[in-house]
Amino acid sequence: MNNKILAALGLILLSISTAFAQADPPARVGRLSDIEGTASFHNGDQDQWSPATINYPVVAGQSYWTEPQTRLELEVGGATFRLDETSLLDILALDDTTTRLELDQGALNLHIASVLPGGVQVLTPLGWVSIGEPGTYHLDAGRPDGDRPVGFLVVTALDGSAEFDGPGSRVAVLAGESTAIGGNPLTAQLSQATTTPIDDWAFERERRALAEETRRFVSPQATGYQDLDAYGRWSEDAGYGPVWYPRDVPADWQPYHYGHWAWLQPWGWTWVDDAPWGFAPFHYGRWVEVGGRWGWCPGERVARPVYAPALVAFIGGAGFVFAVGGASEAAIGWVPLAPDEVYHPPYHVSRDYVRSVNETSVNRMVINKIGVTNRNAATLGHFHNQRAAAVMTAAAFTGAVSVQHATLGVPHDQLLHAHVAADLQHLPPTRAARAGRATPAALTPGSAEHAPPTAPGPKIQPHEHRLGNLPPPPTSAPGHPPPAATMRHDRHDAHAPPVAATPGAGGAAPAATAPTKPHEHRDAHAPPGNPPPAHPAATMNVPPPAKVMPPKPPFLPPVAVVTPPKAPPPPARTAPATTAPKPRPPAPPNAPAHGGPPPKDKDKDKGRKEEPKPNG
């Protein structure tokens, strides 16, 4: 009997260890979508800054830094994060259920077009800011030598609502409001929301990235979809369904030929394309040549498609060599996958993951058989896009050399019988591949490894400082009623001077600064026909007073005490809204676990009109 128990325990431990060894990578990543100026980044396992690269995947453990007069844009599905100059942003967690950032200094604009699973949490030097609904937000953590000092935090909700959670306190920030938090103990100053230059730049970027037609065929949770309308056109094909054709590409252009290979954990070898639109079409869907033109087929539209590092089949393995310059050199090849061709990840994953990553582009009957067939038996001649195969030396591949400058002219008939590589363990990454930046030339046999380019940035803190020793995130999500000790402002009149949050604090604070410009609803990713949401605290479509150009809101003396007084509050004042915070309505029964509103199916809301509201 004891032997049976021990055997059962052994099987359980074996299954647990196998599960940990084959933990699937996240299905969701971000991308670096735009840089204006000089920006740097590093992965969690690196000790120096590297030049930031367009279309490089954004994953947990990374950090981003912007030099003066620089702006940087990151996209994660339907959310966009824009970093102002001299700002430092860490990616603490990014997976299927969590998005956590850390703003160490500087300013960050966040546009949430569709709710991310688990919402968005941003750690600042003073505490957490939680966002659980669509909207546009601005966080300013200050700069050591800037006009906003370190030690203060400004949280602005241009649209939507957010909550700040600090030591023993919570501040709710509603649409059209801005709250400055600082001091010891923490205090809060409420004012009307105003836009800043980084917000104006963000609004202009959103107008150029509407992608209304793309959203008909591609989920907004597919990172990088925003650029497709601007750089190509859609067409319906009888055999492939919706197909997107890129514009302004070279006559001999083929997919996965203009870019380089980078090494990124946990996926390993990852394609980084050179085109500004080159993210979604190379990490989701399939490619096919129709009428002499290459087009991208997104496949079935699903709510949350699974990211892949490169939807190709690698050709060759250890011992795959070609004659280069009179000598035999190890080589590696790849071929773009076509619709209904199964993607077999060259990294360790479960069978369920393989099915999920193929569900948009492969027939259901084929998906159900995934894992049964032997992929090693396939050769290049079995693939629809065999004439788009590329081959380069292993040294150029692992050295992150630009593919278009390093492909080998191997005759097609010599490749037809080359077998698919089961894995890429025989191709260890170089320092250049880990840095993510393309290099100009491959290494020659026996030469020293290329030193990756360096970039400016602040001193890098140990990886454990960002990921292992953080204060816990807030326990309740935005939208839930705050606890009794919450720092709240009375909101019976959003345009009235801010009032002390603590009952009996006495006296009103100086009047809030009027916005320098009206804030209009700018959900650039929403389908047409949806009216902007109304909120009594918003200042939408209200022109500012004539010839009033107030300065940037200063950091006024604190007026809201964090902790409530121990003595009983004085009798209620005549203004009823100052005696108690207005409770929020309870979350609906179908609200997600993180506390935000349930995701909306915007496609179903197209054409729906908002009911007129009564005057007054």
Number of other CB atoms surrounding residue 186 within 10 Å: 22
**Beta pairing partners, 235:** 243
Whether residues 200 and 111 fall in one domain: yes
Whether 563 shows a pLDDT value over 60: the answer reads no
Q: Which of 75-79, 299-303, 351-355, 563-567 has the lowest mean pLDDT?
A: 563-567
Whether residues 305 and 344 fall in one domain: yes
Residue 84, in any domain of the structure: yes
Q: What's the CATH code of the domain at 192?
A: 2.60.120.1440
The pTM of this model reads 0.75
Residue 574 is predicted with a pLDDT of 38
Whether residues 178 and 259 fall in one domain: no
- Chosen domain end from 378, 410, 435: 435
Whether residues 376 and 243 fall in one domain: yes
Average pLDDT of the residues in 591-600: 41
d(CA 304, CA 602): 14
Residue 462, in any domain of the structure: no
Contact 334, 256 (CB under 8 A): yes
Whether residues 62 and 161 fall in one domain: yes
Whether residues 302 and 190 fall in one domain: no
Number of structural domains, the chain? 2
Q: Identify which of 242-256, 319-333, 429-443 has the greatest average pLDDT.
A: 242-256
Measured CA distances, 188 to 123, 154, 276, 429 (Å): 17, 9, 41, 49
Residue 316, in any domain of the structure: yes
Whether residues 135 and 167 fall in one domain: yes
Residue type at 185? Answer: P
Residue 595, in any domain of the structure: no
pLDDT tens readout for residues 519-549: 343 343 333 333 333 333 333 232 333 333 3
- Pinpoint the alpha helices (H) of 290-346: none
Q: Which of 231-240, 529-538, 562-571 has the lowest mean pLDDT?
A: 529-538
Residue 586, in any domain of the structure: no
Residues 6 or more apart in contact with residue 180 via CB below 8 angstroms: 152, 153, 154, 188, 189, 191, 553, 555, 556
Whether residues 237 and 274 fall in one domain: yes
Number of other CB atoms surrounding residue 586 within 10 Å: 10
Residue with tokens 């061709």: 341
Residue 86, in any domain of the structure: yes
d(CA 166, CA 151): 13
Residue with tokens 């909550």: 163
Residue 545, in any domain of the structure: yes
Burial class from Cβ neighbours inside 10 Å (0-12, 13-18, 19+) for residue 543 reads exposed
Whether residues 552 and 498 fall in one domain: yes
Whether residues 126 and 218 fall in one domain: no
Whether residues 231 and 299 fall in one domain: yes
Contact 104, 140 (CB under 8 A): no
Whether residues 194 and 223 fall in one domain: no
For residues 486 and 305, the model is more confident at 305
What 3-state class would DSSP assign to 40?
Answer: strand
pLDDT tens readout for residues 464-476: 544 444 466 775 5
pLDDT band at 32 (very low <50, low <70, confident <90, very high): very high
Q: Which domain holds residue 122?
A: 30-206+473-578
Residue 222, in any domain of the structure: yes
